[in-house]
Each structure stands twice: as structure tokens, then as C-alpha cells.
Amino acid sequence: MFDGKSGAPIPRRKFLERFLATTVGTLTMAVLYPVARFLSPPHVEEDVGSRVLAGKVTEVSKEGWKIFPMGSEPGILIEKTPGEFRAFTAVCTHLGCTVQFDKGSHRIWCACHNGYYDLEGRNVAGPPPRPLKPFTVQVSGEDIFVSRA
């Protein structure tokens, strides 16, 4: 065995030490890498149909708003003006609380830290850093369908 730089022979002990260190190191990596990868959960595409039946017109008109399930997350459906509906994700962009409609201010309100969004989903007051993600609303007779924009 020869050292690459100086060309001098490597003592047998040193060679064996390096050989062992490389082997053990490789083996350790071969075990740790799959374990580390296994630990990080895979990104799962949510199995949500493109369209969700969010509610009935009469039902939403009564209170002016409704929370509905959009896959595993809540969505909020609001009657902006009679017959005109808006839908957003109901997850506050601040710390993830579920928002609600505030009749008094006619805005979307997050009770956790007093954040406000207007009826276009824009963050207008309080801590929320971003607007709410909007969904597309389709009214078909009595049924209100919501789909991801």
C-alpha cells in the first residue's frame, strides 16, 4: 500500500485502521439513512374530490355563513350579499385556528388572536400575515358546491 501524496508505504496497522473506519462508517450510514428517511412522514396528496357539496342555499342564508369540511380541513362559506356566496379555507393564516363570520363587523374573524379578514379573504386587521385561500363556489339550484380554485 502506498500513500497517495508522499508515495511512502502505509504501515499495515494504519491501513487496517482506515479500512475498518471506512467500513464501519459506511455500514453506519447504510443503517442511519433509511431510518432518517423513514422518520420523515411522506407528503400525502389529500384525497378530496374536485367538488364538495358545502351546503344548501337556505341553510347558509339563515345564519349568513357555515363551516364545512374540505377534505381534512375546515372551509368557511359566507353569503356576501343575498344570493352571492364566497368560500375560503377556514384555517387562519396566523396560527391555524378556525375562523368564523362576525356579523357585527361583517368580516371574517379569528377569535384566537383577534385577527380580521374582509369578505374577499384579505387580512385587514390583527396578526394574520396572509389572506385566506379562496375556493370557487358554484350554486346549482339549492346546492352550493365548492372546489379548489
**Of 35, 144, 49, the residue nearest 87 (C-alpha):** 144
User: Closest distance between another protein and the C-beta of residue 82, in Å?
Assistant: 43
Binding mask 20-59 for another protein (x = CB under 8 A): -------x------xx-xxxxxx-x---------------
- Which residue, 12 or 37, is less far from another protein as judged by CB? 37
Q: How far is the CB of 33 from another protein (least distance, A)?
A: 8
Rounded Cα–Cα distance for residues 35 and 103 (Å): 51
Separation of alpha carbons 77 and 53, rounded Å? 11
Report how far residue 4's alpha carbon sits from residue 124's, in angstroms, rounded to the nearest whole number: 67
SS3 129: coil
Closer CB to another protein, 24 or 53, in the complex: 24
Closer by beta carbon to another protein, 42 or else 129: 42
Q: Does 104 bind another protein (CB under 8 A)?
A: no
To another protein, the closest distance from the beta carbon of 29 in angstroms equals 13
Q: For another protein, which is the closer residue by CB, 41 or 82?
A: 41
Residue with cell 450510514: 29
CB-neighbour burial class of residue 128 (10 A; exposed 0-12, middle 13-18, buried 19+):
buried
Give how many residues touch another protein by CB under 8 A: 10
How far apart are CB 42 and another protein at their closest, in Å?
A: 4
Q: Hey, how many other C-beta atoms are within 10 angstroms of the C-beta on 115?
A: 23
Residue 70 corresponds to which cell in the numbers above?
A: 374540505
- Residues interacting with another protein, by CB under 8 A? 27, 34-35, 37-42, 44
